Amino acid sequence: MAPGNEKNEVEFCIENLRKGVKEFLLKYSSPTSLSPKALPLDGNFVTILSLHKGSEGEEYAKNYIRENEWTGKLIVVTNEENQHYDAMASSNFGFIYDG
């Protein structure tokens, strides 16, 4: 997930992302899933949050994460040392918000 570099961009989308991830994981993992084949929520689902190093968006996102529970595992990367490219290469799908 790349929510943008500006505070207003991150502020707009991070809560929706957090709620969406939580709803998805609870719907498709046991014991809350209706599927008898659902696997337990055990940390195999990882959200990677890509932020621009030193931006207002990075600061807002990190404060938000400290203050709010995140369902599943969350990894924060930045554009420093091209971490965001590694995240994209290892992703199954991604969301980008720009403006």
* Span 4-50, pLDDT tens digits: 889 999 998 899 989 998 998 888 888 888 888 888 877 678 888 88
Q: What is the span of the domain harbouring residue 35?
A: 7-48+56-89
**Mean pLDDT computed over every residue of the chain:** 84
d(CA 79, CA 61): 15
Structure pTM? Answer: 0.78
Number of domains composing the chain: 1
| 17 assigned to some structural domain | yes
Indicate whether 78 pLDDT > 90.
no
Residue 28 lies in a domain: yes
Calculate the alpha carbon distances from 93 to 1, 42, 48, 63, 98 in Å: 9, 20, 11, 25, 17
Report which of 14, 32, 29, 2 is spatially closest to residue 70, judged by C-alpha positions: 14
What whole-number distance in Å separates Cα of residue 26 and Cα of residue 31?
8
Using a pLDDT cut of 70, give the percent of the chain over it.
Answer: 92
